[in-house]
Chains A and B, each alone.
Chain A
Amino acid sequence: METLLALLTVFTQPDLLLLVAIGTFAGIYIGAIPGLSVTMAVSILISFTFSWEVYPAISLMVGIYMGGVYGGSRTAILLNIPGAPSAIATAMDGYPMAQRGEAGQAIGVTTVMSFFGGLIGILVLALAAPYVSVFALKFQPRDYMLLAVLGILLVGSLSSGSLVKGIFAGALGLAIGAVGRDPLTFTERLTFDLQLMEGGISFIAVMIGMFGVSEALLQLQNVDKTAVRQKITKIVPSFGVIRKYLPLSLQTSTIGVIIGALPGTGGDIAALMAYDHAKRVTKNPKVPFGKGAMEGLVAPETANNAAVGGAFIPMMTLGIPGDAVTAIMIGALFIHGLNPGPMLMVDQPDMFWFIVGALFMANIFMLIFGLTGIRIFTKIVEMPRAVIIPLILLLSIVGAYAVNNSISDVYWMLGFGVFGYFMRHYGYPLGPVILGVILSRLLDDNWRRAIISEREDLGRFFEGILTSPLSFTLFAAVILIFVSQTPLWTALKTRLFRKASQ
């Protein structure tokens, strides 16, 4: 009964409900603008809500978080510029749809699927949080490393065209991610003794430059072309469409929850892995991936919103943040006099159920705000290029500056923008670069931790992989996915197939 009351707190108090709504609404727009991140918004809110009670403060933060993760897809679909790292995969199929005049439909599906993913994440949080967190704690450094290797193998599905160029782009991303003082030993890497390089290259600056500026430069080539008229019928997907993608979205939501619940990995990696998964399991998409496949929207969007619920799992059960946003929320709980940790669920179960309730409401508001106002949004794509190109550049500059309030980030962003333009020009995919930057530290840090803890003995390292069921499963998946991308696999498949048909 008390549980139910706590769960319903947010519904019974109109002011809390209003705050969740405001948060979600603001979150969608913060998420949509590249460079303005949920992490930043929530940390500003800590000071802003300092004198408030804890429930209203958390309501606002939960709303912003949920809305922000979804909002990143807006600019990804309309402008080919992911508003947040978790929307990188969304751009790959969302933007081609907008180019065909189907932006409204793309946003509609994205919204409904984000809602669905968010719902799965919340359900898992509410019903299975303790079990998931026990599972998440099973991951050892070598498992994180294998997970990163699994991520690196996504290069294959993120690069349309030449795989070699994709691999080059991925390797470049890994190198960009390694620049600066190594956070584990503080040794300078790839800094060329320049103070500018010491702090590393901001990942967000790379992302905004590569996607935003290079897109603007690319559009300069067809300034005089008239924009595609957007069809604005059929915005809300029919029940049949939803049912069609239900099995896929269940799978990708599961990926989202688990990756979200792992401390140190979040919605960005979840979305990319889900995209890859969709590409693997969808045998005959109606439209090919990368050209506007609906599956390519469903997968990342369900996964990144499911990761929200997932990220709260270790936070609420163990006091361990599932990602950057939940790390700040733990700080907020401290400031409001709570002690987040393993005892929070025991001492203050109300807090847990309140957050579940608030997340649920934020998810519903996201659906409402997401499906209204699409008509106005799609007008963005119909704007003349002479307006939209300067707008993209302006947004990119503001976004890159806002991350660290540092002007050098703006220069990095512009530099990578020009570089990204030439990469596109010569057929190098940009997705793998970002993938490399995201995974660089996950791979590098955990490889070092794993091998140091085995006292730098490769034999012991592999023994560890083979004896732990979790590591072995991941290792097997790595091998399998790797082999499936080589010609060996096709040869093997045809041979097996022939045998079966004889």
Chain B
Amino acid sequence: MSRKLIGAFVALGLSAAVATAQDYPAKEIQGIIQWGAGGSTDTVMRAVTPHAETVLGGTVVMQNMTGAVGAIALNHVAGSDADGYTLLMGAENPLLYKVMGLGDKDYSEFTPINILARGTPILVARNDAPFDDYAGMMDFIKANPGELRIGSTGPGGVPSVVTAMMNTEEGTLDVTAIPYDGDGPALTALQSGAIDVMPAVLGAAIESIRAGAMKPLAIFDTEASAKLPDVPTVTSFNDGYNAYLPWGPFFGVFVPKGTPDDVVAKLTEAYATGAENADFLALMDGRGFTMMSISGDAAADFLTTWQQNTAWLLHEAGLTKASPEEFGIARPGQ
């Protein structure tokens, strides 16, 4: 507590004199994690940040700020001073807030420091499901309309996007979507038989697949995963998926727009170096994440493309509250 107090006093003194980038970081940096403790975003951020701190020569105090699908954290950081002392550690959802009617801000109010990695969706089924592969599932859906229970995590979540892809490519599927608050609880429900299939992130399901507690049906990527080489890609069943893939949720560190360039440069360097740490790479590999570690224009382009593709996909599947056009989100390829 006393350390925090001293920190606060130091900060007070420094804000009087204009802090220059040479001094940065001159006080503790706040890292606001958009999701709860123990989740994927939380784990990734807590794993990479200590390595970035060594490069930065400062302390990043991480704190989970949950609520309203992450919008509370996003609004908090967007409203803070653009001085590099408040970081947003978030995932992909904010890019869909506008079309989903969840908020009026997204990453366009931020400068990306580093898009660390992306996840790969995988479709898994419970062990005693009456089919063993992707084609079998499609036949089952056609033969038993409305009977297949598919896990979801609410509009805009990974399962909703994967389901939208399937609906677009395979024709509208008559399935029953059961909502869960996160893929962890949904995968638990899958093992207890409460749902039949679940489009999850590879990292969340990999250990259970390895143990034979659930059946993998298809990887939603253009190439097979090195972690699960035997699982077929969904593009091997239907070429049409190539239009959307590779696609996946991602994790990134952001600062509010208007942060001084040299501060952004310092942070970018710190996180880029941190993301090269061997322990961190091993952790990400073990969880089946694909490392990206992009920043600057590459990151900005990635965000734009991701938002265009996903927002329009969801819009055309009839899942959005408002058209992407209203927010100036162009159709992919335009």
Contacts and interface: CB of A to CB of B under 8 A. Distances in A.
What is the interface residue range for chain B against chain A? 35 or more
B100 interface: yes
Interface in B173-190: 176-181, 184-185, 187-189
Interface stretch (B237-245, B281-289, B290-298): B281-289
A43 B38 CA distance: 8
A422 B42 CA distance: 40
B49 A140 contact: no
Interface string B124-164: 00000000000000000000001001000011100000000
A183 B184 contact: no
Nearest to B155: A186
B180 A43 contact: no
A71 interface: no
B249 interface: no
A321 interface: yes
Nearest to A43: B37
Interface string B90-134: 000000000010100000000000000000000000000000000
A320 B67 contact: no
A449 B207 contact: no
A250 B38 CA distance: 32
Given A47-B50, A342-B211, A449-B178, A263 B188 contact: yes
A200 B154 CA distance: 17
What is the interface residue range for chain A against chain B? 35 or more
A430 interface: no
A340 B189 CA distance: 18
Given A50-B50, A324-B38, A453-B194, A342 B69 contact: no
Nearest to B59: A47
Contact of B184 (A141, A321, A445): A321
Contacts of B49: 47
A453 B176 contact: yes
A473 interface: no
A137 interface: yes
Nearest to A441: B181
Interface of A: 39, 42-43, 46-47, 50-51, 137-141, 180-181, 183-186, 198-200, 263-264, 318-321, 324, 327-331, 334-335, 337, 339-344, 346, 404-406, 445, 448-449, 452-453, 455
24 contacts: A50-B46, A51-B50, A138-B192, A140-B192, A141-B189, A181-B67, A181-B68, A181-B102, A184-B179, A185-B154, A185-B155, A185-B179, A186-B69, A198-B71, A198-B72, A318-B191, A320-B184, A330-B38, A334-B287, A339-B286, A406-B65, A448-B179, A452-B177, A455-B176
Interface of B: 36-39, 42-43, 46-47, 49-50, 62-69, 71-72, 100, 102, 146, 149, 154-156, 176-181, 184-185, 187-189, 191-195, 206-208, 210-211, 213, 279, 282-283, 286-287
Please give me the 10 A-B residue pairs with the lowest Cβ-Cβ distance, nearest first: A341-B207, A199-B67, A342-B211, A184-B179, A327-B38, A43-B37, A328-B38, A183-B181, A331-B38, A137-B192
